[in-house]
Structure 1
Amino acid sequence: MGSTPPYQPFLLRCLHGLTGLFLIAAILTAFWTYNTYDGRWGTVPLPNFPAIEGIHGTFGLWTLLIFPVFVVYACRPGQRRLVQANSLAQLAQPGQPLWWYTLHRGANTLALFALAFALFSGKMMDETWLPQGELTHSWYYAHLVSWGVMVAAIALHLLLSVRVGGPPLLLSIVQWRYRPQDSPTRWPQQARDWWQRHWPRPWLGWWQSRSALIGLEVTLLGTILAAWLISMLKG
């Protein structure tokens, strides 16, 4: 393991950082919400703060808004960090460096699915349930389970990041420096260039690309879209 942090694209760091910041805040406030309104499986001595549910919902909403952008980036420019078509074959060599890298990609992918499930189940809940003591709704249980899976997925993601890249890999995602070609001032032009290359059918190249993680991207984005549509219809 080298001591010099590898370079991570600046856009990836921005999206990863925003998603991680909102997500961690949502997890912490989720536990506080459970601690305030439920506590059937144990509590900790936190202040009784009824407004915490609204704060949790705000952080959840911010995560929900940034998540689709992060998904698109992860499944396109960042797809080498996710599961690959030959991932199962690579797992046939346990203990080898490639085996650990494959597990790391699997953990990254699992974290995306876990977050999508957490966001979807949260949108299916009603904000009046907990204040009214309605703790037996199936979507509330699903949301509790989803956050437990989310915490486990984050822990696995961090542990495997340390295993494959050590502290330099963890530090590389929080550094502020960037190369000239990664400058935010170039993002609008890069977006226009991408659009012009694919116009008038911007999705054709993506759909035909053999390396694109089509199923993963469609599933994750479809889950978020369904969460918005269902919540609007039931509201």
Structure 2
Amino acid sequence: MSRSAPYQPLLLRILHGISAILVITAIITGFLVYNTFDQRFGGISIPRIDPIQDIHGTLGLAFLLLLPVFALYSFHAGEKRLLQPDSIQKLTQVGKPIWWVSLQRIVNTLMLCASILAVISGRMMKEEWLPVGELDHLSYYFHLIAWVIMLCGLAIHLLMSAKVGGAPLLLSMLSWKFRTGDGPRNWYSDFRSWLSSFSQNFSGEINQLIENNFSLRIIEFVVLLGIIAAFVLPLFVSASA
């Protein structure tokens, strides 16, 4: 890795890479599901893939299982890549480097929120709806909206990453090289050290987190609550059916 290339923590690269694969494949299979059963807003003529709904659902479940870890890492270790207290204000400086960075942070945060809408709405859908032509369920509409937001967010995320960091930033996310002390052997001990420090000064850490970026803490709470809802709500729906 060249000296000019930015360094990305290995855990971030792994979580980001797996999430990116799941999101991209879910977006593609999501479109194929729509193209197979809906097409009310247009479609393309391609061969039908019968198990496409099951494939999309499996990818969505895999993403949901990864999402708690990715979200917690993003909101804490990766906090600087998300919404900052002055991000909205910096959007007035159109064309300047800080404008691109602020837009990227907002889009990153928006994609986390959209992912919650996607997993909750997807979990609330029933497999038999689309094959029998039941296309007017509220959960399905929300799932379509989440798909559009994720697609646009992914495109803007890639564009902003290329604009802000150029090829070195994009390549740094693909590199498997890591610094001494950043390898998998250190992750558990690093987590224990952070947890010990956090528990010893719990109230102070909480106050510092809130004071530093209160709006992001609200978003984090909503996202984590949404993840819990995505796991729990289908159980209530199944019990009441």
Q: Distance in 2 between matches of 1:46 and 1:207?
A: 55
Give the CA RMSD over aligned residues: 1.9
> What's 2:4 paired with?
4
- In the alignment, structure 1 residue 116 sits paired with structure 2 residue 116: yes
SS of corresponding position for 1:227: helix
Say which SS state the counterpart of residue 46 (structure 1) adopts. coil
Change beyond 3 A, Cα 1:198–1:52: same
Give the equivalent residue in structure 2 for 1:224. Answer: 227
* Distance in 2 between residues matched to 1:203 and 1:146, nearest whole Å: 36
Distance 2:227 2:81 in 1: 21
Aligned 8 A contact 1:29 1:56 in 2: yes
Please state if 1:39 is matched with 2:42: no
- Which residue identity does 1:154 align to in structure 2? L
Long gaps (5+) in structure 2 = none
- Select between 7-16 and 89-98 the one with higher mean Cα deviation: 89-98
In the TM superposition, residue 44 of structure 1 has moved relative to its aligned partner by: 2.0
Map of 2:160 onto structure 1: 160
5+ residue gaps, structure 1, are none
Shift of 1:200: 6.2
Superposed CA deviations along residues 68-91 of structure 1, whole A, max 9, x for unmatched, are 111111111111111111222322
1:29 and 1:55 in contact (8 A); partners too: yes
Contact 1:32 1:52 in 2 (8 A): yes
Which residue is equivalent to 2:105? 105
Partner residue of 1:184?
184
Q: What is the aligned partner in structure 2 of residue 195 from structure 1?
A: 195
Amino acid in the other structure paired with 2:12: L
TM-score normalised by structure 2 residue count: 0.90
TM-score (norm 1): 0.92
Mapped contact 1:75–1:216 kept (Cα < 8 A): no
Matches within 5 A, 1:85-100: 85-100=85-100
- What are the within-5 Å matches in structure 2 for residues 10-159 of structure 1? 10-159=10-159
Equivalents in 1 of 2:92, 2:25: separation in Å? 38
Question: What CA distance in whole angstroms lies between the structure 1 residues aligned with 2:137 and 2:63?
Answer: 23
Task: Identify the range of structure 1 (99-108 vs 9-18) with the bigger mean alpha-carbon deviation.
Answer: 99-108
Partner Cα separation in structure 2 for residue 18 and residue 196 of structure 1:
29
Structure 1's 151 and 42: CA in aligned 2 closer, same or farther, altered over 3 A? Answer: same
Superposition deviation, residue 149 in structure 1: 1.2
SS of the residue aligned with 2:227? helix
Identity, in percent, stands at 42
Structure 1 residues 117 and 203: CA distance shift in structure 2, 3 A: farther
| Change over 3 Å in CA distance of 1:88–1:39 after alignment to 2 | closer
Which amino acid in the other structure matches residue 117 of structure 1? L
More helix per residue: 1 or 2? 2
CA separation of 1:46/1:201 partners in 2, compared to 1, >3 Å: closer, same or farther? Answer: farther
In structure 2, distance between residues paired with 1:171 and 1:156? 18
Alpha-carbon shift at residue 177 of structure 1 (Å):
0.7
